[in-house]
Amino acid sequence: AVPSPAQTVLELRLLEAMTRGLPDEDGSHTPAGVEELVSMAERAGSVVLGPGVGRSEAASAFAREAAQALEVSLLIDADGLNAHAGQLEALRRRRAPTVLTPHAAELARLLDRTPDEVGHHRLACAREAARRSGAIVLLKGHDTLVVAPEGPVAVSPGGTPALATAGTGDVLSGLIGALLAKGMDAFEAAALGTVAHVRAGLLAAERLGADHVIAGDLIDLLPAGLSTRPLCGSR
């Protein structure tokens, strides 16, 4: 689901993807597109909301209204998170599972804190966001955390600079969204997606060099990342 002016370009660039143009305001999403998005979601198991949405007032309103209207599993990332800055509690009204995937700066905006505060208190801040939103929170970083409102915490230690490349976070969001669409529990989907994403990043860095990896390289290696077989050189 993309703003109508972007549909033709994306159809030419992404041959495998099916796109639907939604009403737009100066090329950005607008709340007028929420009803059509909800209709589309009736045939989907999950929705990933946020990457590429934009930060205009209309786009932010679109993200907030969509989050409330959608009745399927929902992953919120990027500008979808920015649209909920200071409004985490609104997400508690959702009945379906919700996963938030912020990096430190996005989490700081959600909680009205500084990035330094989040950096020094990662687990406490992730838990606060999870409790206030009722969502699973995946806090990205070298040691990524997956935190439920109550109960378990999953930690994915280590990683690679290759995963700092633009677009790699969108790959993670899409992977977790796909796992949610298969009916996987939200905490488990976030944890498995994180591990597979790291494994794919390590493989890409090994084959191409960490400085030469782009987001598309990760997509090609996700099947290997999801495999239970050990990576080369692992112990």
HEC profile for 54-87? CCCHHHHHHHHHHHHHCCCEEEECHHHHHCCCCC
Question: Which residue ranges make up each domain of the chain?
Answer: 2-226
Q: What is the share, in percent, of the chain residues with pLDDT greater than 90?
A: 90
Per residue in 153-202, pLDDT tens?
999 977 899 999 999 999 999 999 999 999 999 999 999 999 999 999 99
CATH architecture of 2-226: 3-Layer(aba) Sandwich (3.40)
For residue 98, pLDDT over 60 is answered with: yes
**What pLDDT sits at residue 234?**
44
Q: Is 50 exceeded by the pLDDT of residue 233?
A: no
Confidence of residue 229 (pLDDT cuts 50, 70, 90): low
- In SS3 terms, 84-124 reads as CCCCHHHHHHCCCCEEECCCHHHHHHHHCCCHHHHHHCHHH
The pLDDT > 70 percentage for the chain reads 97
> In this predicted structure, what is the pLDDT of residue 63?
99
Residue 134 CB neighbour total at 10 angstroms: 16
Instruction: Give the confidence band of 232 by pLDDT, cuts at 50, 70, 90.
Output: low
What is the three-class DSSP state of 185? coil
More confident residue, 13 or 100: 100
pLDDT in tens, 109-156: 999 999 999 999 999 999 999 999 999 999 999 899 999 999 889 999
Element holding 208 (H helix, E strand):
helix 186-208
Give the pLDDT of residue 14.
86
